[in-house]
């Protein structure tokens, strides 16, 4: 009995053991990034990226490769799937038809603008899609989710990392500057919430920007932002269907590639369950925490896999692309606020 158990052990645990060094490396980077973020301020994701890049020399280490690949490609899907627990359909009614329409327009138009700008700048459409989706929906989480629906290539991994770095930087800048715009424009609480929640990339920066003004603006901005997070599901479903054939070609030969990835099904199921009140608050909190850790570890893995030389080789055009997208969505949301005020008057 013991002999057969010993013989079976390699088949069961060998793959897991191979992944441990790489996963531990990315997890330690994630913990370090979280510590720095919590004690000194700044975006957790950006720290994970930069620290990960510093350990790029381990990306060719045979002991680390399996775990790094698992963290970059598999954990991100778990993280995105668990994001569904944060979605509550009842929030939509609180925004009103005008608010919902404005936020849907922000997502769709920013993605379209990203694709257009990428073409005008001579950049790959995939970069325009990733940056437009990340800017328009919910920052790095959306970037990672969109990336998981695209063909699994080295180029797309590089574009994903570049987008994540740009979004982290521009989102932090927006958190500092946009409250000044709110003050100078004399926006009301509802208007400020719609503007901040509709234009800033990441959830944490939206909350931070809102709280700089007042707790009430923070709540209004978070509500608008969570609707943008909810838009992640239909966008990613559409992209999964669009790129199904190309994604299938990039997968391991013989592997089955479902039309809709399992993580999207789990995302939708959790969103539906939470909207119906089936998920206790504790479960939602735990799911959110696990989701964030998975995403931080994944972004650390992407950092380890990418060198600064490869990023620098892309030149100045991606900076112009992502800055123009940030300006576009901010201008759009500010215009929406002024138009709503005019008609309301």
| Average pLDDT over the chain, rounded to an integer | 85
pLDDT at 208 over 90: no
Are 165 and 131 in contact, with CB atoms under 8 Å apart?
A: no
Residue 10: predicted pLDDT: 55
In 3D space, the residue among 58, 36, 107, 56 whose CA is nearest the CA of residue 296 turns out to be: 36
CA distance 304 to 157: 11
Residue 249: predicted pLDDT: 67
Q: Give the pLDDT confidence of 55-65 residue by residue, as tens digits.
A: 999 988 999 99
Please give the share of the chain, as a percent, with pLDDT higher than 70: 88
The better pLDDT of the pair 188, 263 is held by 188
Q: Give the pLDDT confidence of 154-184 residue by residue, as tens digits.
A: 888 888 888 988 888 888 788 889 999 999 9
Q: Give the pLDDT confidence of 72-123 residue by residue, as tens digits.
A: 888 888 888 887 887 777 666 678 888 899 999 999 999 999 999 999 999 9
Residue 61: predicted pLDDT: 92
Residue 5: predicted pLDDT: 47
Q: CA separation (Å) from 2 to 7, 10, 13, 104, 164?
A: 9, 14, 16, 60, 49
Q: What residue segments make up the domains of the chain, in order of their start?
A: 21-36+43-54+63-344
């Amino acid at each position: 009995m013991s002999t057969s158990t010993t013989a079976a052990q390699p088949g069961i645990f060998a793959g897991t053991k191979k992944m441990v060094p790489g996963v531990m490396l990315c997890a330690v980077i994630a913990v370090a990034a979280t510590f720095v973020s919590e004690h000194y301020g700044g975006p957790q994701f950006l720290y994970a990226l930069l620290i990960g890049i510093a350990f790029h020399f381990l990306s060719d280490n045979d002991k680390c490769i399996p775990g790094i690949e698992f963290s970059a490609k598999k954990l991100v899907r778990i993280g995105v799937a668990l994001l569904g627990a944060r979605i509550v359909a009842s929030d939509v009614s609180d925004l009103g038809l005008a608010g919902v329409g404005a936020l849907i327009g922000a997502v769709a138009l920013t993605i379209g603008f990203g694709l257009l700008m990428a073409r005008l700048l001579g950049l790959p459409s995939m970069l325009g899609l990733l940056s437009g989706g990340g800017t328009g929906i919910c920052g790095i989480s959306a970037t990672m989710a969109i990336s998981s629906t695209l063909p699994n290539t080295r180029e797309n991994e590089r574009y994903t990392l570049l987008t994540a770095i740009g979004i982290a930087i521009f989102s932090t800048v927006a958190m500092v500057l946009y409250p000044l715009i709110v003050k100078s424009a004399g926006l009301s609480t509802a208007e400020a919430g719609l503007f901040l929640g509709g234009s800033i990339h990441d959830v944490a920066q939206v909350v931070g920007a809102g709280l700089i003004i007042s707790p009430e603006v923070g709540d209004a901005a978070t509500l608008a932002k969570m609707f943008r997070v909810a838009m992640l599901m239909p966008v990613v479903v559409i992209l999964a269907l669009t790129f199904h054939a190309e994604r299938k070609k990039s997968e391991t030969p013989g592997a089955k590639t479902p039309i809709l990835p399992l993580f999207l099904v789990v995302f939708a199921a959790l969103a539906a369950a939470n909207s119906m009140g089936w998920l206790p608050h504790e479960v939602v909190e735990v799911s959110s925490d696990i989701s964030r850790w998975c995403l931080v570890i994944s972004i650390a893995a992407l950092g380890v896999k990418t060198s600064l030389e490869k990023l620098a080789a892309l030149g100045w055009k991606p900076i112009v692309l992502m800055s123009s997208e940030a300006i576009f969505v901010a201008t759009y949301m500010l215009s929406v606020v002024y138009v709503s005020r005019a008609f309301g008057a």
